């Protein structure tokens, strides 16, 4: 039997916020967040996201019972009230769309702070994006 805790990704993401020091995108988290570009520490809070996390409903990975999370942080651990399975609700992975400047194909990527080189899978063009 595996000791690994099952994970479910939250459907609710924290907002995209830029660093007040360098204008790079901050990690999608709430609380004290450290900018990956300039190392500034920024206090990020968003009551609508915390309220939505409290009311979020997820399905138990073992018995499919619908549960209200009732916790205003991600990640968090839950125990199913029906089958007692313990599982984790993780942060939503945010993706953005960027257009290839050569063929205009839309690429979905995870935003990472700073400058990033991409290779288009359709036309093999290399280009840079900055977040």
Please, where are the H alpha helices in 4-128? Answer: 47-55
> Could you report the per-residue pLDDT of 24-54, keeping only the tens digit for each?
888 888 999 999 889 999 999 999 999 999 9
Give the number of domains in the chain: 2
- 52 belongs to a structural domain: yes
Domain with 46, as residue range(s), is 7-90
Whether residues 16 and 65 fall in one domain = yes
Q: What pLDDT sits at residue 50?
A: 96
| Reported pTM | 0.76
Q: Smallest Cα–Cα separation from 101: which of 125, 79, 117, 69? A: 125
Whether residues 86 and 113 fall in one domain = no
Contact at 8 Å (CB) between 130 and 115?
yes
Q: Smallest Cα–Cα separation from 28: which of 87, 74, 76, 97? A: 74
- CA dist., res. 95 & res. 10, Å (int): 14
């Amino acid at each position: 039997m595996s000791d690994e805790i099952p994970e479910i990704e939250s459907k609710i993401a924290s907002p995209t916020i830029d660093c007040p020091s360098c204008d790079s995108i901050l990690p999608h988290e709430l609380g004290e967040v450290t900018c990956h570009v300039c190392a500034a520490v920024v206090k990020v809070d968003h009551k609508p996201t915390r309220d939505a996390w409290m009311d979020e409903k997820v399905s138990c990975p073992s018995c499919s019972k619908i549960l209200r999370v009732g916790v205003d942080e991600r990640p968090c651990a839950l125990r199913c009230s029906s089958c007692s399975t313990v599982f984790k609700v993780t942060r939503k992975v945010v993706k953005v769309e960027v257009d290839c400047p050569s063929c205009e194909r839309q690429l979905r990527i995870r935003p990472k702070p700073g400058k990033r080189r991409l290779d288009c899978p359709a036309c093999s063009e290399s280009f840079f994006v900055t977040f």
